[in-house]
Amino acid sequence: MSKFSRIIATGSFLPPERVSNAQLVSDLAKHGVESSDEWIVERTGISARHFAQLDVCSSDLAFEACVRALQAANLGPEDIDLIIVATSTPDMVFPSTACILQHKLSQLNPQAKGILGAPSFDVQAVCSGFIYALTTADALIRAGNAKRALVVGAEVFSRILDFKDRTTCVLFGDGAGAVVLEASHAPGILSTDLHADGRYVDILCVPGHVNAGGVLGDPVVKMDGQAVFKLAVGLLEGAAKAVIEKAHLTPADVDWLVPHQANVRIIQSTAKKLKLPMERVILTVQDHGNTSAASIPLALDHGVRSGKIKPSQNVLLEGVGGGFTWGAVLFKL
C-alpha cells in the first residue's frame, strides 16, 4: 500500500471548431438574440469556445486527452488499472462514459488487454466533477485498490445550451482534460476538500431527463448568474484555505492556482482573497469558455505544457458547480 498518489502526466483536447464571440453573436442574431463581443468579454472574460461536431461524444474527447496524457507519461493503456470520468454530458444514460472510454483505449493495443477489467465509472458533480474524481482516485490508490489511474473531465456542453438565452449560451464550450495519477512513496496530492449543499439545486441546473422515449422537463442549462457568482466566490475561498491548512502550508506556499474556468471575475475575486497575484493563476477561460468538468484539467495541462508549472511546485485546484458542489485539491507536481 502506497502512502501517496502523484500526478505524473497531463493531457487535453479541444474540438477543432473554434467559435469566436463574433461568430457566436452573428449566429445568435439569426434567432433574434442580441449580444456583442464587448458584452461577453466584459462580463465573463471569454473570447472564444470550441464546439464538437454532432457525431462527437464526450468519450471521443476524453479518448484524445487520455492518449496525450499517456504519451506524456510514456505509458500504454495496459498500464492503467482505474478510470474515472467526470462529466455532466455522458454519451448515454448508461453504460458510463468511462466504460465506453475504456473500450476505445483498449483498441490502441489489441494485443495488450490490461486495461480491460479495470474499474471504470463516471462522477457527476458538474463543474466540480474533476475535483471529486481526483479526490476519489487518490483515496482508491492510497487504499491499495489501484496503482495507476486515468482521471478525466470531458464535456459536450454545447448539446444542452439554449441558444435563445444569451446569459448562458455564451458561457460554455466543449473539451476534455486528463491526468495520470500514480501510487507513490513521495508526496503528491497533499490534501483535498469536498462539499455539497443541495439547497441550491435550482440556481444552476438542467431540469430534464429521458422519459418514455422522449424528454421530460427542459433539458437545457438554467442559471441564476448573480446567485451563482455570490455563492461561488465565498465557497471557493473556503475550500482553498481548507486544503492549504490541511497541508500545514500558507497561501504564500502556493506556486500556482488552477481554478475552474467559469468567469474571469470569479477567478480574480478568489485570487484576491488568497492574496495571490494573477501572474500565479492559470487562466484559459478566454480561449475555451466554461467547459465544466473539463476546465480544470484543460487549464492544468496548459500550465504544464507551457512550462509555467514546474516539478516540485505546489498547485492548488478548485472548482464549484451545480448541486451546489465545490471543492479543492492541493498537490505537489
Cβ atoms of 85 and 156 closer than 8 Å: no
Residue 185 appears among annotated catalytic residues = no
For 66-93, give one letter per residue: b (16+ CB within 10 A) or e. Answer: bbbbbebbebebbbbbbbbbbbbbbbee
Residue 290 appears among annotated catalytic residues = yes
Residue 260 appears among annotated catalytic residues = yes
Cβ atoms of 128 and 260 closer than 8 Å: yes
Q: Does residue 311 sit in helix, strand or coil?
A: coil
Determine which one of 127, 205, 263, 288 is catalytic. Answer: 127
* C-alpha cell read off for 234: 465565498
Cβ atoms of 177 and 62 closer than 8 Å: no
Determine which one of 21, 205, 290, 302 is catalytic. Answer: 290
Determine which one of 50, 260, 288, 302 is catalytic. Answer: 260
The vertex-129 CA angle with 123 and 132, nearest 5°, equals 80
Q: What is the DSSP string of 288-300?
A: H-B-GGGHHHHHH
Task: Give the span between the Cα atoms of 282 and 284, in whole angstroms.
Answer: 7
Q: Which residues are catalytic?
A: 127, 260, 290
